[in-house]
Each structure stands twice: as structure tokens, then as C-alpha cells.
Amino acid sequence: MDHKGAETSEENPPICFKKDLHLHDNGFSLNGAGVHHGNQKKVNMNYQDLIELPCGVINQFKDVMILALNGNDLTCLPDSIGTLENLEELWLKENQVRYLPESILKLKHLQILALTGNSLSCLLEDMDELCNIEELFLNENKLKILPDTLGCLPKLRHLDLSHNELLKIPMSFGRLKSLEILDLSHNHIAEIPESLGKLKYMTMLDISYNTVAKLPSKFSSAPVLRKLYIQCNMIGPDLPSWFHELRSIEELSLNENSLYGDIFSLEMGETMLQLRHLECRGNHILQVPENFGNLGNLEYFHGGSHLDEIERRQTFHNGNDFETLPESFGRLQHLRELHLEENLLEKLPESFGSLDSLEVLDLAHNSLRELPESFCNLASLRVCFLSQNFLECLPHKFGRLSGLKDLRIAKNLLRSLPDSFGQLKDLQCLDLFDNRLTAIPPCLKELTSLQFLDLDYNPFKDLEAVDVPLIRPEMSYSARDPTLKGNWRGCNRETLINQLHQSGSVLAQALGRSNSLWKKHSTSNDFQPNEDEDTPYHSCSNPSGSSSESENWDDEGGLSQLNQELCTRKTGKDYPSENLIAPPPSEENSPSDCLAFPAPSEEEENWDKDSDLQDCISLYDDEGNFPLSRARPYIPLRTSHCFIPSESHMPQVIRAWYFRNLDQYPVPDQFADP
């Protein structure tokens, strides 16, 4: 029998630890028997699937200073927890603790209490008895009300209350004289007490994702504040005067508030000289101050739209109201990312080309009519979004942007590409959707790294076969329609795939099947059935000038036109003449000039002969989808409330990946089908 009275034997000797005990993530079950204390200072029982902490275990660890119980299934703590008089750190993250025992207030030496990710709905009324607490993590719980005594912790430096259900903040928070970091984000707080402005040593304040309409009129910590996040509130239309005292600010987020007018005064360019990260998207800010270029440490500036990824109609305006950028803007030598989409910019300053470090640029949805020649000096540029502007041409030396990998210039007025465009050897993604190109630019064949190309909705007059080395066809087709057996919708799929592989130009195939990158350019109306017409398929109107009638591929004439325009190599010789199906000859073409399909077997031809729906025309397939004309892949019906990409259209690029992984481009599977 040992000195504690527990029976021991040679087969089950006591487990003794002298200093540190690590039992994390090993499936070991503690019951207190045979565990003897030595002089252990740290006990790690993380991820043990514990549903309770036996009192016997607590009694063995009288001298422990750090106790880690993260990632278990504890719903409460034993009252004996208060006997750990030397305990300095108690880690209880990711458990199911619903309440704290009164005995925890006896831990007078406790400095860190981590209760992240539990089920606490209230705190003890006498929290001020934890007089030495320095870091308190109460985030991701169910707290609605905080006791006033929480503001009476004189040594508290870090307080995290994010992701709770808080409605208000106690006035006593103004007495947390040592507080440096306060996180109140993701709650339901409508008002910040004025007393909070009395704190002098705060370096980080996060009140984002609340309903705050007004900030304290005074803020004593303004000169030392380094990070301020107030996005997704109702603050506005102005900012308090202490914003001009943020001399140490490094990260500032003002997104999605009610800010309006010239909130960026000249003082901004004189005081915020340490600023590295600035976000103000989704407001109504009118201008960038003239001395904005003084912010020489700025690396990231987002003043565009707060809707990054979903389909945006042109009638929506989600950005700010910037009309011009100051000439000093070119002095931002450390700027790496610039997002000013959905503003009112009509031109860029000539100094814009001096942004030597710029890697990601988004100027889509503006009113730009031209780019300055200095634009071609952006040697570090890798991602460039210029869609939905009024650009009629690109600078002659555009090919000097040798590092460019992703270029989006959809919905502009481009009639041609400069001769130097072929020098973009690293370009992988090119979007020229809905411009005024009348011919396929010959420089495309020089883009040896190009993998994704969109030339849809251009008024092409002559489709000359041009092979782009890495472009490959996407073999996705609409559902076969039994009423159109002569059309490729009624053709055997294997037959069609084999024939497409023999076409002389992969690019011509992509154009013929409208094989765009993604359907971000279309609006929800493009995916709805035309209820005003008697035809079973919705006819899309081509903004390039060609009528929908000429693009209807649901009859043999449409297939004939496709063959005449797109195919440059005769393939009929590859099959016996008696085994060919070709469109009827006309004055403009002959069967030998058309793309020939091997005749399907009798079994293939009559695969639907027993169907009860053979004589019917249905708007839907078996999955309730609506097939579009022009051999486009079918699109789910009723998509007015959201954007849904089609089968052969790639999803939109997730911009956040560009922001955070600039060293790894492109992102693996970035353009993969969903």
C-alpha cells in the first residue's frame, strides 16, 4: 500500500511524473487510480474524449501550473478545480462546458482562462475575484449578458468575446485600464459605450459584424491603436474626429457601413503613415485625398464592391464613388493589391505605371475609356480585371506585362489586340467575352501558356482556324432530344465525340459550341424560357449583331451553317461514302465541305421508338432542366435568384485565393468543374 492508501502491485505500479505530463490524443482514459503526483508543472490532456474530470485526478495535481483540457466532451468542471492554488493557465477550448463552478474564483494566480467554443450562456457574478487574469477567451459561446464585474479586472490585457449573442457592453469596460486587445465581433451590439474611449493602451479593437451606428466621440487609445476593424455595421455618414489621430494604425477596415462623402481628408495622408492594409468597400466615399501617395507603406487597398463572387447585374452599384485617382497615387511603391471595381473611374493617372510592386489589379465595372501608356510598366502585374469598361484599345506596348497570368477584359469595346499581345508568354487565362472583335486575333497562337479562353459574343465575320497550343475542348453536351434526330442533340454521343477530335481547329470547336470559361457574363434572364414565343427552346439574342434565328441549331440548317463556318478540314474521306450523314447541299456549300458524322446504327437511331413521349415536345429533361438553343449545355430552370454556372462553363475565380496565395499561381483545381 502506498503513502496515499492506494493498493499497488508489481503488475500495476503507480504512474509517477516529475514535471510534465502529456497524454494528448492517445485514447488514454483517466480514472485517477494509480496516478501519483510528483512535481509536475504542466498537464496536457487534450483530445482525450473525456466526459468528466474525476476529482481523484485533480487531487493528484496540486502543484500544476498549466492544465490543458482542450478538445474533450466536458460539460462541467469539478468543484475541486479550486484546489489548484498554483494554477496559472487553464485551457478548456472546444468542450461543452455550460457553466463555471464557484470554486474557480479561488484560483488567485490564474492568468489565462481559455473557454473558446463551449456552451456558456452566462458568467459568474463575481468575476472580479480573478484579480490576476490577463487573457480571457470567451469567444464562440452563447453569452447574451455580461456581468459588470467583468470590467473590474485590473490586469486584463486580452479579452475575446467574439461570436456570441451579446446585446450590449457594460459601462464598466471603461475601467479595464490594462486592456490592449478587445474583440467584440459577430454579436448583436448596437451601441459602444463612451467609457470605452477612456482606455489608453488598446492596440487592437474589433467590433465588426454588429449593428453599431455610432462610435465614441473620443478615443484615448487612438495614437497607439494598430488594428481597427469596424466593417459590417451601420456607422456613418461621417467618422469621428479622432480618426485623424491614428498615427500607429497598420490595418483599417471600414467595409459595408453608411459612410458617405469626403471622409478621407488630407489629414489621412499626414497621420496614417504606418498604414499597410486599408479596406473601405461597399460605402459611398467620393474621393481619394490628393496626398494619398504619402501612405508609402500601403500594401493592400480595397475600395471596390463588397460582392466579390456572385453574379452582379449592371443595375447594382456595390462599390464607392471614386471618379479619379490623384497623381500622387503612383508613389505607393509597396502596393501589391488594388481593388477599385464598381466605382466611377474614367481615367487613370499617368503615374499609375510607377506601382512597381502591384500584382493584383481589379478595375472592373468602371467607366475607363483608355489606359495610360505607363500602364505597360507594371512589371509585377499577374492578375488584371478590366471587364465592363469602355476600352476601345489597349496600349501598344501591352505585351511588356510579361508576368501577366490572368487577364479579364470582357464587355468592352475592343476591335483588335495590339501586335505586342503575343509576348504574354505566361498568360493562362484570357477573357474577351462581348467585345467588338471581327476576327480571331492571330496573336493568340503565340500565347503558348494559354489554357482558358473566352471569345464568345463577338461579331466575328471570318472564323479562320487558329490552333492555341494548350486549349482543349470540354466534352459536355446537352441532353439528346428525341424530336431532333438529325441534329447533334439526337446523335449518338460517342459518335459526336470521336468526330470532334478530328476537327482541324480546337479553337473553332470551342467557338462553335460556345465553350466559354464561365457564365458570369450572362444575366438570369438568359436562363429563363421565353414565354412569349411558341418555340419550345429559348432563343438567346446575340448582342454582337447576329439574330437568334441564324443561331438556332435545332434544325438541319443550323447544323449546316455551323459546318460551313467552322470546319476547315474535310473529314468525309475518313468514312465510307455510304455511311455518312450530311446536311443537304446548297449553293454556298457542298456535303464534302461539311463536317460528316458516321451514321448511327439502327439501334442508335431508334433508341426511343418505344417512348410514350416520342411525339411530344417537352421543355424539361428527366432532371427538370431546360435545354437552351445553340447547343448550349442545359441550365437549371428558375435561376433569377442566383448565379448557376452551366456544365461547360468554368466557375468564377475565387479572388481571395489571389489575395492570400500569390506565391502559388494558379491555384490547383481553380477552374475545375464544381
Residues present in the chain in total = 674
Instruction: Please state, in angstroms and rounded to a whole number, the distance separating the CA atoms of residues 248 and 472.
Output: 52
Q: Give the pTM.
A: 0.69
What's 396-420 look like in SS3?
CCHHHCCCCCEEECCCCCCCCCCHH
What's the alpha-carbon Rg for the chain, to the nearest Å? 33
Residue 570 domain flag:
yes
Domain count, the chain: 1
User: What is the dihedral angle through the alpha carbons of 268, 269, 270, 271, rounded to the nearest 10 degrees?
Assistant: 50
Instruction: Please state, in angstroms and rounded to a whole number, the distance separating the CA atoms of residues 451 and 469.
Output: 8
* Domain membership of residue 579 as a residue range: 493-657
Residue 497 domain flag:
yes
Residue 670 domain flag:
no
Instruction: Please state, in angstroms and rounded to a whole number, the distance separating the CA atoms of residues 641 and 648.
Output: 21
Look at residue 395 and give its three-state secondary structure: coil
CA atoms within 13 A on the CB side of 85: 0
Give the helix ranges, DSSP H, for 439-570: 493-500, 506-512, 556-566
Sign of the CA dihedral with 261 first, then 265, 271, and 277 last: positive
Per DSSP bridges, beta strands 112-114 and 406-408 are unpaired
pLDDT at res. 58: 85
Do residues 645 and 633 lie in contact, with contact meaning Cβ atoms separated by under 8 Å? no
Residue 454 domain flag:
no
Look at residue 472 and give its three-state secondary structure: coil
Which segments in the chain show pLDDT lower than 70?
A: 1-39, 308-317, 462-674
Residue 575 domain flag:
yes
Listed as own residue / partner, the contacts of 386-389 with beta carbons closer than 8 Å and 24 or more positions apart are 386/412, 387/411, 387/412, 387/431, 387/433, 388/314, 388/364, 388/412, 389/363, 389/364, 389/365
Residue 587 domain flag:
yes
pLDDT at res. 200: 96
Instruction: Please state, in angstroms and rounded to a whole number, the distance separating the CA atoms of residues 449 and 471.
Output: 9
Residue 534 domain flag:
yes
pLDDT at res. 624: 43
Q: Which of 109, 61, 67 is nearest to 92 (CA)?
A: 67
Grid cell, residue 353, equals 505605371
Identity at 4, one-letter amino acid code: K
Instruction: Please state, in angstroms and rounded to a whole number, the distance separating the CA atoms of residues 340 and 321.
Output: 10
Residue 579 domain flag:
yes
Burial class of residue 133 (count of CB atoms within 10 Å of its CB; 0-12, 13-18, 19+) = buried
pLDDT at res. 460: 87
> Which bin fits 31, alpha (ψ -120 to 50), beta or left (φ > 0)?
alpha
